[in-house]
Amino acid sequence: MGKDKSEKSGYQLKVPKGTKDWDGKDMIIRDKIFSTIKEVFKTYGAVTIDTPVFELREILAGKYGEDSKLIYDLADQGGELCSLRYDLTVPFARWLAMNSNIKEIKRYQLDKVYRRDQPAMTKGRMREFYQCDFDIAGTYDPMLPDAECMSITCEIFERLGWQGKYTIKINHRKILDGIFQVCGVPEEKIRTISSAVDKLDKSPWADVRKEMVEEKGLAEDVADRIGEYVVLKGGVDLLERLQKDERLSTNESAKAGLADMDLLFKYLKIDGVLDKVSFDMSLARGLDYYTGVIYEVVTEGSAPQSASTDAAPEKKDAKPKKRSTNSSTATDADEDRSNDPSVGVGSIAAGGRYDNLVSMFSGKQQIPCVGISFGIERIFSLTKARLAATASTTTSSQRTNETDVYVMSVGGNGLLAERKKIVRRLRQAGIKSETAFKEKPRFDKQFKDMERTGVPFALILGEDELKVGKCKIKRNGAPEGDPEKEGVVIALEGLESEVARRIGDWYREQEVAETAGKLDLVRTGFA
């Protein structure tokens, strides 16, 4: 037997670990997520920019705290040491520093980023993935831009049909720093202890405490005092409780953070999104550049299916294996953990305020910034799981394209010229249409193609109807007794307006049948 092509070429034909190809129905869903997010960004007045996929290594160095080990470094090319971008925030800050004439901007960017993390592919945890960022740069009255980011977040998930099934966890770096200070954390350990606290969404307090004490050298009594605060969560009630805390009231950092949160909550109430927010003291966000409000968006699928609650987990779970940027020495970190019940999707969007990042590049120019980043792969993962769970109750096929009309023929000669002319007329009228690439297509094959792709309408051309300036329109999946199930005769004159009207009626019916606000998602089977 001959060797297959991959053996002859000397390499295995596959994509790198932590990456994948996208096609078919998955791309339809992803495209709708992208277009929905982009439309909201534009609604809020943002403009877009584009930055290189790799940056000078020194630009990225020292900006991500302990996560810096996940940066992909590139080989020396032409005397420059470069790395693949880890996120879109640091490149944006670098861009602002290089364009000193820009003092204020609302910016969005949808691009791929790269992280040498352990993948869990079906849960949206990948090494190459898209981020969709919205940022507001400039000096404005306190907390107004921050509230805008919260409003954008809620609008995006409502337009995606999540119907309030998400929570924005929110905290403030200055409050956290104040807590660490009054609890007795040495100044040089604040950032590393903050990174430990940030793991509370995945690990119980006992594990986090153990890391603080055994790995990071924090005194046990200091860790216990921190534990009194970081387990707290709530809303305005928690804010009022912290404002009355005697220890925090003497700390300037905590007082400033609490004042910001008080103002932010007032704006969120005005914007009608306060009920989506949870004031969560365990949220720390491990990245070093955050200076103020921080937030993450979670939903039911964000948490792992199961998590250890033991006070003393096995040693192999207590300390993650060291990751390396050298793929040849990072075998354990390369394994896909999609089937690991202790791994969840995690946050589906996250961000915060970073007022000092631009000045780190410019040396003098201080441009306050706040923003949020949406993780497409994680949003997609949860969306696809929801579609799979509801597939048995869905009455119509999921769309695999956005074609609204399939022009077909009945009879032996195929009517190719007539079909192409009708398709051209419809497309010129802005109606998404197609026809079979066959001179004489079989009638049953045309219907199968239409049903397979989920096209809602068929326009059927027959010789007898064409002679009298008519054709027939049939709605795919129409209920029994509906005249459109077998087809309705309509005139070729004014065809475009008649077809457009019927398509419009169909989408409005979908909106009524499902939930207000989900019309845009019917095309892709979201509803």
Binding residue per annotation — 295?
no
CB 475 within 8 A of CB 484: yes
Cα gap 414→457, rounded to integer Å = 19
Sketch out the chain's domains with CATH numbers: 12-390 (3.30.930.10), 405-513 (3.40.50.800)
* pLDDT at res. 397: 53
Kindly give, in sequence order, each residue whose CB lies less than 8 Å from that of residue 446, ignoring residues fewer than 6 positions away: 406, 408, 409, 436, 458
| Residues 349/375, Cβ–Cβ less than 8 Å | yes
Q: 457 and 426 in contact (C-beta within 8 Å)?
A: no
Per the listing, tokens 């998602």 go with 521
Q: What is the pTM for the complete model shown?
A: 0.80
- CA–CA separation, 475 and 395 (whole Å): 14
pLDDT in the model for residue 321 = 41
pLDDT at 28: 84
Residue 55 is encoded by which pair of tokens?
A: 């940056």
β-bridge partners, 85? none
Task: Say if CB 373 and CB 129 are below 8 A apart.
Answer: no
Residue 406 labelled as part of a binding site: no
What pLDDT score does 309 carry? 37
131 is in an annotated binding site: yes
pLDDT by residue for the chain (527 residues), tens digit each?
A: 455 555 566 778 999 998 999 988 888 889 989 999 999 999 999 999 999 999 999 999 988 877 889 999 999 878 899 999 999 999 999 999 999 899 999 999 999 999 998 888 877 788 999 999 999 999 999 999 999 999 999 999 999 988 889 999 999 999 999 999 999 999 988 888 988 898 887 788 999 999 999 999 999 999 999 999 999 999 999 999 999 999 999 999 999 999 999 999 999 999 999 999 999 999 988 777 899 999 999 987 777 665 433 333 333 343 444 444 343 334 466 787 777 776 767 889 999 999 999 999 987 778 999 999 999 999 998 888 877 776 544 444 566 778 999 999 998 799 999 999 999 999 999 999 999 999 999 999 999 988 888 899 999 999 999 999 999 999 987 777 777 778 899 999 999 999 999 999 888 887 665 443 343 443 434 33
Residue 433 CA, distance from chain mean position: 30
Q: DSSP string covering 440-495, please? A: S--HHHHHHHHHHHT-SEEEEEEHHHHHTTEEEEEETTPPTT-HHHH-EEEESTTH
289 among annotated binding-site residues: yes
Residues 6+ apart with CB under 8 A from 396: 454, 476, 477, 525
- Cα–Cα separations (whole angstroms), residue 255 to 142, 172, 174, 400: 15, 11, 8, 53
> Residue holding tokens 């003092």?
103
Give the three-state DSSP class for 413: coil
Please give the structure tokens belonging to residue 436.
């079979």
Of 383, 345, 390, the closest CA to residue 161 belongs to: 383
* Segments in 44-120 forming alpha helices (H): 57-60, 89-98
Helix/strand number for the chain, H first, E second: 21, 16
Does 290 carry a binding-site annotation?
yes
Q: Which residues contact 123 (CB under 8 A, 6 or more apart)?
A: 338, 343, 344, 345, 346, 378, 381
Whole-angstrom distance, CA of residue 454 vs CA of residue 475: 11
Q: What is the pLDDT of residue 432?
A: 95
Place of tokens 């793991």: 199
Contact 400, 24 (CB under 8 A): yes
> For residue 84, how many other CB atoms are within 10 A of its CB?
20
In angstroms, the CA 211 to CA 217 distance is: 9
Instruction: Give SS3 for 53.
Output: coil
Distance, CA of 119 to CA of 126 (rounded, Å): 5
Please report the pLDDT score of residue 513 as a whole number. 55
3-state secondary structure of 128: strand
DSSP E strand boundaries for 31-94: 47-48, 54-56, 82-84
Q: Nearest 5°: CA angle at 120, between 117 and 123?
A: 125
CB-CB contact of 294 with 352 (8 Å): yes
- Complete edge-to-edge strand list for the sheet that includes strand 405-410: 433-435, 405-410, 457-462, 470-475, 488-491
Whether the CB-CB separation of 113 and 86 falls below 8 Å is answered with yes
Q: Is 263 helix (H, G, I), strand (E, B) or coil?
A: helix
* Residue 269 host element (H or E): helix 252-271
Going by C-beta distance under 8 Å and a sequence separation of 6 or more, which residues neighbour residue 70?
64, 86, 115, 116, 117, 323, 325
> Which of 351, 338, 285 is closest to 145 using CA atoms?
351
- Report yes or no: 348 and 299 within 8 Å, Cβ to Cβ: yes
Rg (Cα) of the chain, in Å, rounded?
28
* Residue 99, pLDDT score: 94
Q: Which residues pair with 298 in a beta bridge?
A: 167
Residue 524 is assigned to a ligand binding site? no
The predicted structure's pLDDT at residue 6:
52
Is 4 labeled as ligand-binding? Answer: no
Residue 157: enclosing H or E segment and its boundaries?
helix 144-159
Q: If you search the block for the tokens 């792969």, which residue do you land on?
A: 377
What is the pLDDT at residue 383?
A: 86
3-state secondary structure of 420: helix
